[in-house]
Copies of this chain bind each other. A is one copy, B any other.
Amino acid sequence: MELKLYVDRMSQPSRAILIFCKANGIEFEEVKIELAKGQHRTPEFAAEVNPMKQVPAIAHGDFKLFESHAILIYLASAFSGVADHWYPADVQKRAKIHSVLDWHHSNLRRGSVGYIFNSIIGLAFGLPSNPEAAAKGEKLLSASLQTIESFWLNGDGPFLLGNSKPSVADLALVCEIMQIEVADENDRERILGPHKKVLKWIADTKDAIAPHFDEIHSIMLPFKEKLKELKAQASN
């Protein structure tokens, strides 16, 4: 059955799904949906791919699915050959991963999107920056990073929940944090700098999923340069 991934590599949940497939040898067709061009908002996309007009979304034969966590779990469950550590069969280990992913929705993800979109990525969509909303996002983002530092990484292993190998939760959360890479150096240092365990965990996750992690994130550098230009234009 053919697997199509409807993604934009600028989107952090899209990258998580691309990396997951590459790391697990799952064959797919990448259908590029350019958010900055509004390709996710067309009536065709809503009718045929995702009525919520968002990426990522997938089609696996006739089966369609959206919401990135649901997609990661589906891919880990539906394809043979995905190692157990990504989404363990054990009911209690699995429940802990669901708990991290649910927490992510209302905390790290919400803070990160609030900060990044309102401070810089909105510029790529022709929107002005919104310092008040960005500050609110940064507050939740920083509190979430502190919770990862002091609680979710408070185990024996290098990954979330003290695991020795990454799960879909590590991939989803690290890809989210990688979006901060598009911020400028000062912002990045202010937000991520205080969280040493988080920085080590990001490095460990990159290493564990090499070379796919860096390959899919290679789009970030040119994007960062482009945003720098837009930011300079906006402040002139």
Contacts and interface: CB of A to CB of B under 8 A. Distances in A.
A228 interface: no
Interface residues of A, number: 29
Contacts of A63: 92, 95
Number of this chain's copies in the assembly equals 2
A91 B70 contact: no
A64 to B, nearest CB: 9
Interface in A96-123: 96, 98-99, 101-103, 105-106, 110
A73 B73 CA distance: 13
A87 to B, nearest CB: 11
Contacts of A95: 63, 65, 70-71, 73-74, 77-78
Contacts of A51: 151
Given A65-B96, A73-B98, 15 more contacts: A52-B103, A63-B92, A65-B95, A67-B102, A67-B103, A69-B102, A70-B95, A70-B101, A71-B95, A74-B98, A77-B91, A77-B95, A78-B91, A78-B92, A106-B110
